[in-house]
Structure 1
Amino acid sequence: MHTVRFELGKGFHLKQVFLQMAVMAGALLYGATANAGAAQWSSTNIQYLYGDSYEAIFFDPVAGKLDSEEVSASIITLEHVNGWKYGDNFFFVDITNPDRSGQELDTSFYGEISPRLSFGKMTGKDLSMGIIKDVLITTTMEVGQGFHNYLYGLAVDLDLPGVPVFQINYYVRNEANTETGSQITLVWLKPFSIGSLDFAFEGFLDYAYGLDPSEDNLITAPRLLLDLGKTWGAPGVLQAGVEYQIWRNKYGIDGIDEDVAQAMVKWIW
């Protein structure tokens, strides 16, 4: 899921960023096009986020270990989700522009592709039972600066009153420089109204563990967004609000914790 990934003194040139963006987006869109006849729904959005207490990682030669310092950053995110005959696909890419005391740092890039296959859709049978709505095969590829991680496992989608999206994904997590570990990912969306105002409470939580020598780490990013588009008769087009990111043992590094409030605007089509 969404993670702000950058290190001091390291980054992508914009040409590299857009090239890798194009490759990832092309892979997703190829899959969507190949199954266009079976497409059921899709949604795309662009987000702008800004925060001022991200933990940027650097190597401290005196202490001989990785350390961090707080920086501000602006992030542009392209996000797409669709459902088709046999499952669903989720894709996003972050372009992060960090700033340290007025000194602009290297732009960095991070993205994920997450296709899932529904047992219910593939078998044509209703697998719902109690609060379980469906059971799925779930996969993710993470792409960032000099690394590709691969995740695969099983997921359940839950049927909760007033909560159209609640996923529990369990992954086997493969990284190049760690033991094979596990990850649990939760995803949720809860729309609600106060008077004439429409809101969305959404977000994700990732808990990765067993990735020796990396430490177990947890990241969650709940969002509260107001539907601004509704105020001029275009509901569901423009949202604004705040995302609060909490990260414990960032990147699996012991003791590096991040808490950052991010102002957020999201344009949806």
Structure 2
Amino acid sequence: MSMKMKRSSLVSTLVLGSMLSVAAPSQAANWSSTSFLMHSGSGYKTVPGNTEYDQTIVTLEHADGWKYGDNFFFFDVSEPNNPNTSFYGEFSPRLSLSKISGKDLSFGIVKDVSLAATWEFGGVTNAKLFGFGFDLDIPGVPVAKVNVYNRFGESQFAPGEVSSAPQVTLVWMAPFSIGYSNWIFEGFLDYAWAEKEVGKEDNIVAQPRLLMDVGDLWGAPKQLYAGIEYSYWMNKYGSKGVDEGVPQLTIKWTF
């Protein structure tokens, strides 16, 4: 590993650690939402090998907002009843520049600007991302965010080697109704540019979900959802030609 890469990795770790400590204030959150999800689908791809397999994933998701920003966290457990189970998680704190400064930083459809970070961990992934987040004001879409990062990652192909490249992340959540039924359309999309130093190609990860509020049918709205998620990954883990597209049955319990 070059001295430049070592220095970049050290700096990124220190910056992320600082943001994590600030993003965990002692005061209570202004709002929070925690969910358990279960996904089940066929057509996942191995890397290497590019062979298909079936998989069940259990996910814990948490989001909250506090005085100076917001946090998002999820943790996946794949095949929890299998000895070969695997784990993956992400933690994404953001600090609102308008809330910190007390000034209105909105412009156009942008209603707020934040300092943004993400830590991806588990399996063959260990990456730290730093950049800016933009909250968008879109009618009918209460959650619409664009985060623009510089990504510092390690490769499963060259352990210990660190590279960097840009990444853009879109996040959205839009509720709507059809007749007497209530639905949400939510998800995210990541576009990560190539990290040639460690053999990674451009890759896209997208997971849109369409879920019906089934709890509302018996008077318990916004608690139990069911529907479908489509998990798409072009060049999985940056591996050229390993493209994954999996329709998944999804159940989401929010409390």
**Common topology (TM > 0.5):** yes
Runs of 4+ in 1 over 3 A off after TM superposition: 27-33
Q: Which runs of 5+ in 2 are unaligned?
A: 1-18, 155-160
Could you tell me how far apart the structure 1 residues matched to 2:233 and 2:213 are?
Answer: 27
Verify: 1:122 aligned to 2:100, yes or no: yes
Query: Where do residues 203-214 of structure 1 align in structure 2 (5 Å cutoff)?
Result: 203-212=187-196, 213-214=199-200
Structure 2 match to 1:131: 109
Structure 2 match to 1:180: 164
Q: Which runs of 5+ in 1 are unaligned?
A: 1-26, 58-65
Equivalent position to 1:144, from 109, 122, 126 = 122
In structure 2, give the amino acid aligned to 1:261.
P
Could you tell me how far apart the structure 1 residues matched to 2:143 and 2:162 are?
Answer: 32
In structure 1, give the amino acid aligned to 2:36.
I
Taking structure 1 as the reference length, the TM-score comes to 0.81
Identity of aligned residues (%): 50
Could you tell me how far apart the structure 2 residues matched to 1:218 and 1:92 are?
Answer: 19
CA change 1:98–1:235 in 2 (3 A) is closer
Q: Is 1:154–1:169's contact at 8 Å kept on the other side of the alignment?
A: yes
Verify: 1:221 aligned to 2:203, yes or no: no
Verify: 1:85 aligned to 2:67, yes or no: yes
Verify: 1:168 aligned to 2:150, yes or no: no
Structure 1 match to 2:216: 230
In structure 2, give the amino acid aligned to 1:40.
N
| Length, aligned pairs only | 229
CA change 1:28–1:48 in 2 (3 A) is farther
Q: Deviations over 1:202-235 (max 9, x none)?
A: 0100000031121000011110000011001110
Could you tell me how far apart the structure 1 residues matched to 2:235 and 2:85 are?
Answer: 23
Equivalent position to 1:46, from 36, 39, 43 = 36
In structure 2, give the amino acid aligned to 1:41.
W
Structure 1 match to 2:27: 35
Q: CA deviation at 1:125?
A: 1.7
Q: Deviations over 1:101-147 (max 9, x none)?
A: xxx56100000110000011111122222211100100000111254
Could you tell me how far apart the structure 2 residues matched to 1:126 and 1:266 are?
Answer: 36
Taking structure 2 as the reference length, the TM-score comes to 0.85
CA change 1:29–1:52 in 2 (3 A) is farther
Q: CA deviation at 1:35?
A: 2.9
In structure 2, give the amino acid aligned to 1:215.
E
Could you tell me how far apart the structure 2 residues matched to 1:147 and 1:75 are?
Answer: 17
Q: CA deviation at 1:56?
A: 1.9
Q: Is 1:82–1:90's contact at 8 Å kept on the other side of the alignment?
A: yes
Equivalent position to 2:131, from 153, 169, 185 = 153
In structure 1, give the amino acid aligned to 2:219.
G
CA change 1:28–1:236 in 2 (3 A) is farther
Query: Where do residues 87-126 of structure 1 align in structure 2 (5 Å cutoff)?
Result: 87-97=69-79, 106-126=84-104
Could you tell me how far apart the structure 2 residues matched to 1:31 and 1:72 are?
Answer: 37
